[in-house]
Amino acid sequence: MKVNIDGEIRHLFAVWYEDDKVKLIDQRKLPEKIEVFEASTSDDIAYAIKDMVVRGAPAIGVTAAFGLAMAKKKGEDMNLVVEKIGKTRPTAFDLFKAIAYMKANNFDMSAASRYSNEISGRSKKIGEYGNSLIGNNSRILTHCNAGALAVVDWGTALAPMRFAKADGKNIFVFVDETRPRLQGAKLTAWELGQEGIEHAIIADNAAGHFMRKKEIDLCIVGADRITANGDFANKIGTYEKAVVAKENGIPFYVAAPGSTFDFSISSGDDIPIEERAEDEVLIVNGKHLGPETSHARNPAFDVTPSRYVAAFITEYGIFKPDELSRLRSIMEKDLFMKTPK
């Protein structure tokens, strides 16, 4: 991704391996400052994933891949490391795809590097295919952050927007703030600003207003796990956006690499949904919201049924929900995707 640091445009990755450490842009610190988190042990990796130093399913997978290779190089007990990292985020399927891939490749660092390069390259293809869905003067809604920070580079939902901008298309992006951790307001808006893409942050509950007023032409979101029937899990609040989009005749697209598709699960009912600490809802910028005696519920994701999805944008092309069996057949011929589960 392109980043302006003190007037100098630099290209940064969300996660990389250097000097025997896994290095990550600390996404908790954005947009106020760019700070690099350095992980030297598997405990650091587990913390970085669990505490959302890194987030976004593909980026979580890449972090796990590098973390597993690093742990092997440093002589850690790999059975314990796999168990520890596998417990960090239950919903994101890329985490388990990366663990299976690294197991199959003896936890070698070269395999981790290849995994990272594959994910980045596939995200670029998502951008190329998704660009075809964006017309000039399109007004796009996105939810949460599915940009380069959520992958390694390019992004998923934001990749088509990057390509549209590069093609000279005039686009405008409505950015849901994404309570409770504000990934849209903090991360997506920051990425779009770095790319010079015009946008506006909106409250999560304002999206329906702009849809009804016909100020939104299409929606593009990412995903954390997609099942065999096309149901998918994404950041909490996605489901209601998809329902309202359907009601208003607005196409709702899901951008994700093959590593996010979990064909072993038949429907969204079987996706494990992570519930996080209530303080993420109750405390904002150190200030407690509401009565001190009140508690909160904090599901990190929700499931959107496939009937609300216009199509999935993948590195293999664009597929409607009823075409996922064909996508599965294509993926079965892809050696990278045939990693044992």
Same domain, 114 and 137: no
Q: Which of 85, 120, 155 is a domain's end point?
A: 120
What is d(CA 241, CA 176) in angstroms, rounded to the nearest whole number?
A: 10
Same domain, 182 and 88: no
Decide if 224 is catalytic: yes
Would you state the pLDDT for residue 89?
A: 96
Contact indicator for 320, 310 with CB cutoff of 8 Å: yes
Same domain, 163 and 114: no
Q: Which of 101, 120, 139 is a domain's end point?
A: 120
Residues of the chain with pLDDT > 90: what percent?
92
Mean pLDDT of the region 297-313:
98
- Helix 93-104 with 57-73: angle, nearest 10 deg: 30
- Those residues with Cβ within 8 angstroms of residue 273's Cβ, 6 or more apart along the chain or in another chain: 90, 91, 233, 299, 300, 301, 302, 303
Confidence of residue 284 (pLDDT cuts 50, 70, 90): confident
Mean pLDDT of the region 71-78:
97
What is d(CA 235, CA 217) in angstroms, rounded to the nearest whole number?
A: 21
| CATH number of the domain to which 265 belongs | 3.40.50.10470
Give which of 256, 267, 179, 184 is closest to 223, Cα–Cα. Answer: 256
Same domain, 183 and 220: yes
pTM for the complete prediction? Answer: 0.95
Mean pLDDT of the region 257-266:
96
What is d(CA 232, CA 222) in angstroms, rounded to the nearest whole number?
A: 10
Same domain, 100 and 146: no
Same domain, 115 and 131: no
Mean pLDDT of the region 157-184:
97
Would you state the pLDDT for residue 1?
A: 80
- Those residues with Cβ within 8 angstroms of residue 279's Cβ, 6 or more apart along the chain or in another chain: none
Would you state the pLDDT for residue 242?
A: 98
- Which residue is catalytic, options 224, 231, 262, 302? 224
Would you state the pLDDT for residue 5?
A: 72
Same domain, 38 and 147: no
What is d(CA 64, CA 46) in angstroms, rounded to the nearest whole number?
A: 8
Mean pLDDT of the region 43-57:
97
Say if residue 84's pLDDT is above 90: yes
Would you state the pLDDT for residue 238?
A: 98
Same domain, 242 and 256: yes
Same domain, 87 and 155: no
Contact indicator for 58, 151 with CB cutoff of 8 Å: yes
Q: Which of 120, 141, 166 is a domain's end point?
A: 120
Vertex 32, ends 153 and 290: CA angle to 5°?
110
Mean pLDDT of the region 129-145:
98
Would you state the pLDDT for residue 341?
A: 47
| CATH number of the domain to which 74 belongs | 1.20.120.420
State the total domains in the chain. 2
Give which of 23, 21, 19 is closest to 54, Cα–Cα. Answer: 23
Vertex 310, ends 306 and 316: CA angle to 5°?
95
- Torsion of Cα atoms, 50 then 60 then 314 then 102, to 10°: -130
pLDDT in tens, 196-206: 999 999 999 99
Same domain, 183 and 63: no
Domain holding 203, by residue range, is 126-338
Would you state the pLDDT for residue 339?
A: 59
Mean pLDDT of the region 98-116:
97
Whole-number average pLDDT of the chain: 95
| Residue with the two structure tokens 């190329």 | 128
Say if residue 16's pLDDT is above 80: yes
What is d(CA 331, CA 319) in angstroms, rounded to the nearest whole number?
A: 13
Same domain, 244 and 130: yes
Same domain, 29 and 95: yes
What is d(CA 253, CA 221) in angstroms, rounded to the nearest whole number?
A: 6
